Amino acid sequence: MGAGGRAVQSATKRVETDPLKRVPVSKPPFTLSQLKKAIPPHCFQRSVIRSFSYVVYDLTIAAFLFYAATSYIPMLPPTLSYLAWPVYWAVQGCILTGVWVIAHECGHHAFSDYQWLDDTVGLILHSGLLVPYFSWKYSHRRHHSNTGSLEKDEVFVPKQKTGIRWYSKYLNNPPGRIFTLITTLTLGWPLYLAFNVSGRHYDRFACHFDPKSPIYSDRERFQIFISDAGILAITYGLYRLVVAKGLGWVLCVYGGPLLVVNGFLVLITFLQHTHPSLPHYDSSEWDWFRGALATVDRDYGILNKVFHHITDTHVTHHLFSTMPHYHAEEATKAVKPILGEYYQYDGTSVFKAMYRETKECMYVEPEEGEDQNKGVYWYKNKI
């Protein structure tokens, strides 16, 4: 461990058996530079060959699943085919979520040392999943620049109590929470892209497909056109497939897995940034370092590997977003002793966690009686 790590070894260790314990909101006793020195230097090196190996690996599995599904499921009796297709959707959706994560790495310039290569690979992979690559890249970059900020964060920005909808009290029950989860996981991603639902408040309509959207600066607008062109190209390709193969075939082969991908990326992001122990800050308290630490690592079991560890190394990712995913586990192990109480990990079952967070994290408010921390907001659920 580097000298920076030795200087702060006295930092209090996180009690991982109590994942709901609130993280500290005071200025950390360590710096970003000290964290970086604690990480082996090779963790920051990006390899074109290694990065492409993950692309080839994921796409090879996806191609095999496509071949198996289209070749053998139609041969099954109708009853069995109705069971086989959802299995294909789930497995293929998980593999394609891994592809989505690699394109996400491209957006962070974590794929290679060449920006043009990152953008080319990212545009192709994301377009194939109907994601506007450059549009998302720039809004996501702002999310990383403003994580934990109530005014400037870009995604899953919590409402204050005065901003919750009138119908929220009718959904604050088990059936309502399940309905909310299903709606969020199925419609959340397209609604975010098209209407900025759950995103930052803008003074006018914000849309990821609109080059004139307030999300983007003038120098970024041309690339939004490129993103739209990628989406249109894939959409046209899907139209031609519908003409040739039929709508049912396209929905079974492509639509089902895509629905799973969209659901997972919403779930992953939701659980990374929504937790009873995590604070949010207004402009009087927010700073980048504490905001970047206001996230949580989760355990998805075997899917951690399938998703290239975006799930269980997210804290490190927010601190060093250009680090490739294949070094994130090692880097996380290196910084955890230094982060101490500032590191948040929750091994709660994903199914249990998504219901608990939907129940407990309805809005944010400052803690009563803490005048010195009026700009620090915590999740509440009392309506």
Which tens digits make up the pLDDT trace of 59-96?
A: 999 999 999 999 999 999 999 999 999 999 999 999 99
Cβ-contact 316, 19 below 8 angstroms: no
For residue 24, tell me if it sits in a domain.
no
Which tens digits make up the pLDDT trace of 272-310?
A: 999 999 999 999 999 999 999 999 999 999 999 999 999
Q: What is the pLDDT of residue 11?
A: 41
Length of the chain: 383
For residue 169, tell me if it sits in a domain.
yes
Distance CA 312, CA 362 (A): 24
Q: What is the pLDDT of residue 7?
A: 40
Q: What is the pLDDT of residue 96?
A: 98
- Provide the CA 258 distance to its chain's centre, in angstroms: 16
Q: What is the pLDDT of residue 370?
A: 67
The distance between the two most distant Cα atoms of the chain, rounded to a whole number of Å, is: 68
Question: Which range, of 185-199, 301-315, 323-337, 365-379, averages the lowest pLDDT?
Answer: 365-379
For residue 11, tell me if it sits in a domain.
no
For residue 270, tell me if it sits in a domain.
yes
Q: What is the mean pLDDT of residues 146-173?
A: 94
Host domain of residue 293: 44-380
Please determine, for residue 16, whether its predicted confidence score (pLDDT) is greater than 80: no
Domain count of the fold of the chain: 1
For residue 33, tell me if it sits in a domain.
no
- Provide the CA 262 distance to its chain's centre, in angstroms: 11
Q: What is the pLDDT of residue 6?
A: 40
Tell me the pLDDT band of 19, cut-offs 50, 70 and 90. Answer: confident
H-helix segments, the chain: 3-7, 32-38, 48-72, 78-107, 115-128, 133-145, 168-171, 174-195, 221-245, 247-250, 256-273, 288-293, 303-306, 314-319, 328-339, 350-360
For residue 91, tell me if it sits in a domain.
yes
Distance CA 96, CA 210 (A): 26
Question: Which range, of 136-145, 190-199, 353-362, 364-373, averages the lowest pLDDT?
Answer: 364-373
For residue 61, tell me if it sits in a domain.
yes
For residue 260, tell me if it sits in a domain.
yes
Q: What is the pLDDT of residue 244?
A: 98
Q: Which residue has the tokens 């998302």?
A: 136
Q: What is the mean pLDDT of residues 224-246?
A: 98
Please determine, for residue 313, whether its predicted confidence score (pLDDT) is greater than 90: yes
Half-sphere exposure of 334 (CA within 13 A, CB side): 22
Which tens digits make up the pLDDT trace of 180-223?
A: 999 999 999 999 999 999 999 999 999 999 999 999 999 999 99
